[in-house]
């Protein structure tokens, strides 16, 4: 009974943010994703290298849209992507013959590692998963995937976050670095 009762949920949603906040979230995420995708499409197009990952869309939500969140801080952004990428590539290289297993191990282990290192960053789970399900273009990178796109892409997004999030008077980023 308690088990089912708990499923009803008893709390409420946090209030909606102001339109100004929405605007700054839009500007920040536009510029952040523009930066990584410009590098990806304009500079690296023919090289087989990558700068953008699906999980960066999720990071953008946090570091431009929920900048106070502990999950959105530099330690989490960088640590989450780098450690998860490492876990993801390792999972694929060891268990790639069973993609379903490699995928599950990659995500679950990435979450555990992020927890243990206090770098929990939800998009990290996607970064680990993409290392397994990302196809030939990702697999061919090997451990380079950890440095680029994961680490470098996150760094570019971080620079944009530092620049944009500190322009408004009552917005500041980060809350803490490490």
Contact positions vs another protein (CB under 8 A): 10-15, 17-18, 20-21, 65-72, 168, 170-171
Between 45 and 175, CB nearer to another protein = 175
- Residue 52 CB contacts under 8 Å (≥ 6 apart), including other chains: 33, 36, 37, 39, 40, 149, 153
The DSSP annotation for 5-65 comes to HHHH----PPPPPPHHHHHHHHHHHHHHHHHHHHIIIIISTTTT-----HHHHHHHHHHHH
Closest CA to 50 of 162, 166, 165, 137: 137
Q: How far is the CB of 169 from another protein (least distance, A)?
A: 9
Answer whether 91's CB lies under 8 Å from 129's CB.
no
| Residue 68 beta carbon to another protein: minimum distance, rounded to whole angstroms | 5
> Token pair of 138, please?
């990702």
DSSP-derived letter for residue 141 is T
Six token digits for residue 158: 């971080």
- Between the CA of residue 3 and those of 11, 56, 72, 150, what are the distances in Å? 16, 36, 32, 40
Nearest residue (CB) to another protein, 135 versus 176 = 176
């Amino acid at each position: 009974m308690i088990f089912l009762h708990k499923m009803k949920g008893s709390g409420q949603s946090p209030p909606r943010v102001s339109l100004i906040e929405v605007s700054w979230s839009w500007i920040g995420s536009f510029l952040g994703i523009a930066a990584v995708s410009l590098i990806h499409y304009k500079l690296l197009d023919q090289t087989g290298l990558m700068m953008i990952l699906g999980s960066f869309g999720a990071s953008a939500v946090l570091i431009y849209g929920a900048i106070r969140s502990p999950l959105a801080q530099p330690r989490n952004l960088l640590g989450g992507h780098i450690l998860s990428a490492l876990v993801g590539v390792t999972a694929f290289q060891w268990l790639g013959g069973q993609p379903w297993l490699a995928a599950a191990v990659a995500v679950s282990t990435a979450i555990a590692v992020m927890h243990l290192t206090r770098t929990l960053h939800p998009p990290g789970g996607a970064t680990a998963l993409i290392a397994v399900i990302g196809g030939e273009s990702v697999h061919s990178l090997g451990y380079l995937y950890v440095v680029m796109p994961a680490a470098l892409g996150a760094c570019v997004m971080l620079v944009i976050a530092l620049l944009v999030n500190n322009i408004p008077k009552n917005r500041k980023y980060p809350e803490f670095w490490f």
